[in-house]
Amino acid sequence: MRYEAPATAKAAAKLLLGAKGSAKILAGGTDLLVQLRSGMKPPGLVVDIKHIAAMSGIKKERGGFRIGAAVPSAVMGENKGLGKAWPGVVEATGLIGSTQIQGRATMAGNLCNASPAADSVPALAAAGAVARIAGPGKRRDIPAEKIATGPGKTSLKKGELVESIFLPKRPPRSGDAYLRFIPRTEMDIAAASAGVNLTLDRKGVCTAARVALGAVGPRVILSAKAAKALIGTRLEDSALEGFAAACSAAATPIDDKRGTKEFKTHVAGVLARRAAVIAYERAGGKP
Amino acid sequence: MIKTKFKLVGTRPLRPDGVDKVTGRARFGADISAPGMLHALILRSPHAHARIKSIDTSRAEKLPGVKAVVTRDDFKLPEREDLVDICRNVMAREKALYDGHAVAAVAAVSKTVAREALKRIQVEYQVLPHVTDVDAAMKPRAPILHKGMRTIGAEPAAKKDSNVAQIHTFGHGDVVKGFAKADIIIERSFKTEATHQGYIEPHACLATYGADDRADLWCCTQGHYMVRNACAGLLGMEVSHLRVTASEIGGGFGGKTTVFIEPVALALSRKAGKPVKLVMSRDEVFRASGPTSSSSTDVKIGITKKGKITAAQAILRYQGGAFPGSPVQFGAMTGFAPYDLENVHTVGYDVVANRPKQAAYRAPGAPLAAFAIESVIDELAHKIGMDPLEFRLKNAAREGTKSSYGPTFGPIGLEATLKESKKHPHHLAPLGPNQGRGVACGFWFNFGGQTSVSLNIGEDGTVSVVEGNPDIGGSRASMCLMAAEELGVPYEKVRTVIADTASLGYNEVTDGSRVTFAVGMATIKAARQAIAIMCERAAKIWDIPAEAVVWEDGCAKPAGSNAGNFKPMTLAEIAGSAGSTGGPISGHSEATADGAGVSFATHMVDVEVDPDTGKVTVLRYTVFQDAGKAIHPAYVEGQFQGGAAQGVGWAINEEYIYGEDGRLQNPGFLDYRIPVASDLPMIDTVILEIPNPGHPYGVRGVGETSIVPPLAAIANAVSEAAGVRLTHLPMSPPRVLKAMMENGKGAA
Amino acid sequence: MTKTAVSTTINGDAAEFLCETGETLLDVLRDRLDLTGSKEGCGTGDCGACSVMLDGRLVCSCLVLGVEAQGRAVETIEGMAEGETLHPLQQKFLEHAALQCGVCTPGFLVAAKALLEVNDDPSESQVRYWLAGNLCRCTGYDKIVRAVLDTAKDMRSARA
What confidence tens digit (pLDDT) does each residue in B469-519 have? 999 999 999 999 999 999 999 999 999 999 999 999 999 999 999 999 999
B32-128+201-250+256-288: CATH architecture:
Alpha-Beta Complex (3.90)
One fold for both B32-128+201-250+256-288 and B296-360+384-446+597-742? no
Mutate to test the interface with A, among B111, B609, B613, B674 (most CBs of A within 10 A): B613
pLDDT in tens, B37-66: 999 999 999 999 999 999 999 999 999 999
The CATH code of the domain that includes C12 is 3.10.20.30
Across the interface, whether the CB atoms of A189 and B670 are under 8 A apart is answered yes
Range(s) of chain A covered by CATH 3.30.465.10: 2-48+57-167
Say yes or no: A186 contacts chain C, CB-CB below 8 A: yes
Within 8 A of C64 by CB-CB distance, chain A residues are: 29, 33, 104
Q: Which CATH class is domain A174-282?
A: alpha beta
Q: Which residue of chain A is at minimal alpha-carbon distance from C62?
A: A33
What range defines the domain where residue C146 resides?
A: 88-159
In this structure, the answer to whether residues C73 and C138 fall within a common structural domain is no
Distances (CA, A) of C57 to B40, C47, C126: 34, 17, 18
Structure confidence at residue B524 (pLDDT):
98
Model confidence over B356-395: pLDDT tens digits?
A: 999 999 999 999 999 999 999 999 999 999 999 999 999 9
CA distance B265 to chain A (A): 22
Any residues with CB less than 8 A from the CB of B615 and at least 6 apart, and which? A181, A183, B609, B733, B736
Q: What are phi and psi of C46, to 5 degrees?
A: -100, -10
The reply to whether residue B250 touches residue C104, judged by beta carbons under 8 angstroms, is yes
Confidence check: pLDDT of B747 > 70: no
Neighbors of chain A by Cβ distance (3+ pairs < 8 Å): B, C
Q: Check if B676 contacts A (Cβ < 8 Å).
A: yes
Are residues B745 and B612 in contact, defined by beta-carbon separation less than 8 angstroms?
no
Point out the residue among C4, C45, C60 whose CB comes nearest to the CB of A3.
Answer: C4
pLDDT by residue (tens digit) across A162-206? 999 999 999 999 999 999 999 999 999 999 999 999 999 999 999
Asked if the model's pLDDT at residue B640 lies above 70, the reply is yes
Q: Testing the interface with A: which of B737, B738, B741, B742 to mutate, by most A Cβ within 10 A?
A: B737
> In one letter, which amino acid is C40?
E
Nearest CB to C44; choose among A28, A34, A103: A34
Residue of C nearest to B196 (CA): C137
Please check whether residue A38 touches B, CB under 8 A.
Answer: yes
Contact at CB, A257 and B679, closer than 8 angstroms: no
- C49 to chain A nearest CA, in Å? 11
Q: Is B540 exposed, middle or buried (0-12, 13-18, 19+ CB in 10 A)?
A: middle
CA–chain centroid gap for B195, Å, is 13
Asked if C45 lies within 8 A of A186 by C-beta distance, the reply is no
Q: Is B143 exposed, middle or buried (0-12, 13-18, 19+ CB in 10 A)?
A: middle
Which tens digit of pLDDT belongs to each residue from A4-57?
Answer: 999 999 999 999 999 998 999 999 999 999 999 988 888 999 999 999 999 999
Partner chains of C (3+ C-beta pairs under 8 Å): A, B
Chain B residues within an 8 Å CB radius of A185: 676, 678-679
Residue C52: pLDDT over 90: yes
SS (H, E, C) B596-635: CCCEEEEEEEEEEECCCCCCEEEEEEEEEEECCCCCCHHH
Same domain, C16 and C36: yes
- Residues B272-328 have pLDDT tens digits of 999 999 999 999 999 999 999 999 999 999 999 999 999 999 999 999 999 999 999
Q: Do A270 and B734 touch (CB under 8 A)?
A: no
b/e string for B109-138 if b means 16 or more Cβ within 10 A? Answer: bebbbbebbbebbebebeebebbbbbbbbb
| Cross-chain CB nearest to A183 (options B612, B673, B738) | B673
What values do phi and psi take at A140, rounded to 5?
Answer: -135, 155
The per-residue pLDDT of chain B, averaged, comes to: 97
Question: Which of A48, A74, A101 lies at the smallest CB-CB distance from C45?
Answer: A101
Closest among B585, B532, B542, B594 to B563, alpha carbons compared? B542
- Domain segments of chain B as ranges: 32-128+201-250+256-288, 296-360+384-446+597-742, 448-593
Measured between CA atoms, how close is A254 to chain B, in angstroms?
Answer: 13
Residue pair B697/B629 in contact (Cβ under 8 Å)? The answer is yes
Average pLDDT of the residues in B667-688: 98
pLDDT class for B416, splitting at 50, 70, 90? very high
Checking if the pLDDT of B745 tops 70, the result is no
- C-beta atoms of A1 and C131 within 8 A: no
pLDDT-derived band at C160, boundaries 50, 70, 90: confident
Q: Which of A5, A42, A100 sits opposite C59 (nearest CB)?
A: A100
As annotated, the residues of chain A forming the CATH 3.30.390.50 domain(s) are: 174-282
Any chains having at least 3 CB pairs less than 8 A from chain B are A, C
Q: Which residues, 6 or more positions from B450, have their beta carbon under 8 angstroms from its beta carbon?
A: B506, B507, B508, B591, B592, B593
Split at pLDDT 50, 70, 90, the class of B748 is: very low
Contact B216, B274 (CB under 8 A): no
Residue B70 confidence class, pLDDT cut points 50, 70, 90: very high
CATH number of the domain located at residue range(s) A2-48+57-167 in this protein: 3.30.465.10
The stretches of B279-396 forming alpha helices (DSSP H) are 282-288, 328-334, 366-383, 388-395
The dihedral of CA A241, A245, A246, A247: what is its sign? positive
Options 3.40.50.150, 3.30.365.10, 3.90.79.10, 3.30.420.40; CATH for B296-360+384-446+597-742 is 3.30.365.10
Residues of chain B contacting A256 with CB distance shorter than 8 Å? 665
CB B134 within 8 A of CB B318: yes
Residue that terminates a domain, selected from C22, C51, C79? C79
For A188, the closest chain C residue by CA position comes to: C46
Structural Rg of chain A based on CA atoms: 19
Binned at pLDDT 50, 70 and 90, residue C137 comes out as very high
Kindly calculate the radius of gyration of chain C based on its CA atoms and give it in whole angstroms. 16
Number of domains in chain C: 2
Mutation target to probe the B interface, by most B beta carbons within 10 A, among C34, C86, C137, C144 is: C137
The residue among B619, B660, B664, B676 with the most chain A CBs within 10 A of its CB, best to mutate, is B676
Q: Do A183 and B665 touch (CB under 8 A)?
A: no
From the list B675, B366, B305, B324, the residue with the least C-alpha distance to A186 is B675
Whether chain B has a CB inside 8 Å of the CB on A183: the answer is yes
C100-129 per-position pLDDT tens digit: 999 999 999 999 999 999 999 999 999 999
Domain B448-593 listed as CATH 3.10.20.740: no
Is the Cβ of A1 closer than 8 Å to some Cβ of chain C? yes
Phi-psi region of B551 (alpha: psi -120 to 50; beta: other; left: phi over 0): beta
A188 inside 8 A of chain B by CB: yes
CB contact under 8 A, A74 and C48: no
Q: Residue A219 — pLDDT band, cuts 50, 70, 90? A: very high
Measured between CB atoms, which of C103, C105, C139 is closest to B641? C139
Q: Strand B276-279 relative to strand B204-209: parallel, antiparallel, unpaired?
A: antiparallel
H-helix or E-strand spanning residue B408: none
Q: Which of A183, A188, A270 lies closest to B612 in CB terms?
A: A270
d(CA B96, CA B46): 9
Q: Report the pLDDT averaged over residues B426-433.
A: 97
> Parallel, antiparallel, or unpaired for β B242-246 and B215-219?
parallel
What pLDDT is recorded for position C1? 60
